[in-house]
Homo-oligomer: A and B are copies of this chain.
Amino acid sequence: MIRVSVLYPHKEGARFDWAYYTAAHVQLIERTLRPALKALSIEQGLAGGPPGSPAPFVAIAHLTFDSVPAFQAAFGPHAQEIMADVLKYTTIQPILQISEVKLGS
């Protein structure tokens, strides 16, 4: 099982439209990546480690797939449409991480 994490780093003055992200963008992700996409979670940053520090990431999305090829096969044909949609809700350039789930789920 692999996880694709999309992390939006905190940036002073950056725009992030939560209403669009959690409705329209999530719908686009679900429509284009299911059924290869096995699970999706969306997290909103609350705080960092040091007391009073801002969350390092405004938002983090985790997408679970069976394997890297399964992700690539699902994402490839829709990559351009999904990337273009990101510009509609944020000025932040997200960081993409592909990980293997070693423990837990």
Chain multiplicity (copies): 2
How distant is A20 from chain B, measured CB to nearest CB, in Å? 13
Total interface residues in chain A, CB < 8 Å: 34
Of B44, B47, B48, B57, which contacts A102 at CB under 8 A?
Answer: B44
Please give 4 more A-B residue pairs, beta carbons under 8 A apart, in addition to A40-B104, A45-B98, A55-B99: A42-B101, A49-B97, A55-B98, A56-B97
A46 vs B71: C-alpha distance when bound (angstroms) = 13
The answer to whether A80 has its CB under 8 Å from any CB of chain B is no
Q: How far is the CA of A3 from the CA of B103 in the complex (A)?
A: 16
| B103–A26 CB distance below 8 A | yes
Return the chain B residue nearest A63 by Cβ: B104
